[in-house]
Amino acid sequence: MTAIAYRRADVDGFNVFYREAGRVGAPKLLLLHGFPSAGHMFRDLIPKLADRFHLVAPDLPGFGQSELPDRGQFAYTFENIANVMARFTERIGFDRFAVYVFDYGAPTGFRLALAHPERITAIISQNGNAYEEGLSDGWNPIRAYWADPSPANRDALRALLSRETTIWQYTHGVPDASAVSPDGYSLDDYYMNRPGAHEIQLDLFRDYRSNVALYPEFQAYFRTHRPPFLAVWGKNDPFFLPAGAEAFKRDLPQAVVRFLDTGHFALETHAEEIAMAITEFLD
């Protein structure tokens, strides 16, 4: 049995919840989750890697069990989230580490790499985008909000926060939906319905444009620092297209790109395959 510890870290007054497993002194792997989830999305992956790596999976600010301060106390931007995560890694002694990024974890992790390239030993991107061609038409309502941040366009995005949409994100593109446990999306829906959480998520929808604006800088980082790179992708993802995975090879010709016959939340159905790919890649 894998021993997983559930901890909290005080990051300059910000309370960050995280899962930790593996031997201290083993190669470090930081796991960064995406929307609308939290570190629990790695619940199947962590036991499969804990014999080889020292794993830490934090809940991003505003997600999961991490602190959920009022929007008047903390501006919910990806820059601020990345800054908290950078200080978090310092707080727990993660000085050099590989990083697994998914969805929102990608712009968070790539910002970390831009600010501290000396800390990054490798990158695993599971449906974590850094190229315009990786964005599907599913982003059009959010793009409309970027262009015109009117109350009407903001309200139009509230449907993306519903339980039905969360379940759809988990099951769309999965050949057999019965393979998807309800545990993940049910917990996501619980966290998403805490007081104030919807407005925070709408703020992050608005700020996601800052990540797209940074795509050229992320790509320059790849070309300059050439981190070992694995893209493992649910090929039926309705938001991040396979073209986004292939695009990494433009800036990182040695990148390894693998596609899985599943959707956005690939770990729900392919944790074993992803664990094997990571082990082979990092070994």
In the predicted structure, residue 19 carries a pLDDT above the cut 70: yes
Query: Domain spans of the chain?
Result: 4-282
Query: What percentage of the chain has pLDDT greater than the value 90?
Result: 99
Identify the bridge partners of residue 21 per DSSP, sorted by sequence position: 4, 55
Q: What is the rounded average pLDDT of the residues 7-11? A: 98
Query: What percentage of the chain has pLDDT greater than the value 70?
Result: 100
List own/partner pairs for 183-191 with CB under 8 A and 24 or more apart.
Answer: 184/37, 184/40, 184/41, 184/43, 184/265, 184/268, 187/38, 187/40, 188/36, 188/37, 188/38, 189/36, 189/163, 191/36, 191/38, 191/63, 191/64
Give the number of residues written for the chain: 283
Eight-class DSSP state of 118: G
49 within 8 A of 80, measured Cβ to Cβ? no
Q: What pLDDT is stored for residue 1 in this prediction?
A: 60
For 4-282, CATH gives 3.40.50.1820
d(CA 188, CA 233): 21
- Helical H runs in 33-118? 46-49, 78-92, 105-115
Active-site residue, 116 included: no
In the predicted structure, residue 245 carries a pLDDT above the cut 70: yes
d(CA 177, CA 179): 5
pTM, to two decimals: 0.97
Cis peptide before 141 (omega within 30 of 0): no
In the predicted structure, residue 153 carries a pLDDT above the cut 80: yes
**Average per-residue pLDDT in the chain?**
97
Please identify which of the residues 40, 54, 264, 270 carries the catalytic annotation.
264
d(CA 270, CA 63): 24
